[in-house]
Structure 1
């Protein structure tokens, strides 16, 4: 094992030990990353949430000029509750050339590799800056990136290229679907189960809502763009959770539906949201309020994150493909923060170690081979004309 790989494995072990589940703070991990980047000579700035419990990190090596390259990753991980792990998910375990632990592939492996190589980047005669953007709450609506992007714009920070290190098996990704997440709360009128006509059953109206939502699936399938490269090629809808009621013999006074949509085109999201609001206003609420004036349906937007649009000209895609010796680029159905950086005017690609098939599952892992490929790519990046050539 070479020095950089050994250092990355050691540092990844530290990062995994921080239980940065989205519901909890990421400040200890951010502080560790900040200290390491400052030791490498980077200019580091933290962007705290209003309550101070979480923070984004943005750091820069090289000249204070426009352009340059951003290496980006999210620090939060999904929960481990009710998952059957073979070992402590926050104590990294090595076996069969794999590193097991929550976040190893999604996506602390990339963060560790990029941070470990910061001193090597600093040794190069950088003519353009290399930035590090480490965010919070990607897993619950890309909240950190949605806060970081306008903060960078206010400061006039305008990188040219962004590499998002999500787990892609080190494949170059040039496009992905958007991700819209919603929670819908139904308020009815409780009563005795023997007289359902005297109450408003929130659970029943939640089911009616979901039924209408599912009927939109067929229309979305028919709207799939021609020659779509996504699998499946249409916008998808998934109902992730339905909850309501307290007992068999009680009319449910409260219910909740959590669902998501993965648009392949902006018009699909508008179609679904408009159609569901019409169902609420025209059908469901009038029926509920005919019995109880206090009945209500409230939709909460958890996150509406744009997709990464495939661009004919994409300097980020071309750069990473050249560093890896890859021919062509792919698209994926899962979402990332990439589209937010693209909206800033950057050229963006997604490429990182590990497989999305391992993300969010028990015994999540990243292989040493994938980390090694990632480190090789980043080392080549540090010596590339994209950073050390002053010409345009």
Structure 2
């Protein structure tokens, strides 16, 4: 029998300690729910995965041209891109509610009030980054949120409803080729698209309870205290879940590596210290370090730099064959439209694409001039060396 509710998360193998703590908290407070980990990686028989949790690898989600999909994204983009595909798969399985949490979240009580919203007709439930105007001390201000998204999609709940599937399928279609962390283009992975959610889904609910999705970006407006009966409160209400985004267990006095403020004191320090201890214990239980990210290298073992991924997704919505095997060679082929440098330098496809993407480079180096081709080739060699890009990806074979 399919459980009414599925609690799900997504991570790669390097985030299993965070996922272990999340799923332990979900199991404690919602033992009736099915627990599912969407693995944005390949399963590794040498690793331990959280007990009692179904592991569903991304390659099992039925995503068209999966190799091209995985190749075009870095690890963060890929983790977020599979979210709607996973949620659709679980709704198709028959779960009435699918509740997604980032793996760096911990649940601190039953979330029946959230599930009641879904039972009462909400098709989607989201939490905004801000439930009140941020103060001058806020580590994230209005402009940042307008660039990255009104709602924090470290949490998203959906219910079986007439409008749910069409919106999820639209979102999946957007993320198939557009889950980019390119804020200068108005894109921030999966999150920015869902600014449109209230217009697309009549029954979407914006949850403004400050005890949900507490994180470094809203702590300037939320007071964490100890509850008289034990546990934690936020603004006098029981803490639902805390989002430990950027938290480093070895530095429990810091709320997040992304900002020095606020410093953890009082009840907040105790909350962070407890989570740090559970994270360290989970890492110890899991044992050996994670294997390298499965989609981080070519079949040859050479690391895939972001520059190559950007060229692939800008130029090749489709690719014949396996890009993990064949795109390495394409990157270093001479670009047909470029002159040879004054000293015999060749502009390869990767070099040309990097040049075409950057207005400053186009202004500085004119590739129809052999002397400027030589200057650009020297510049690119220094840049590639500093970025750790393997020579075989850009230097044409002699």
TM-score, normalised to structure 1's length? Answer: 0.25
User: Which protein has the bigger strand share?
Assistant: 1
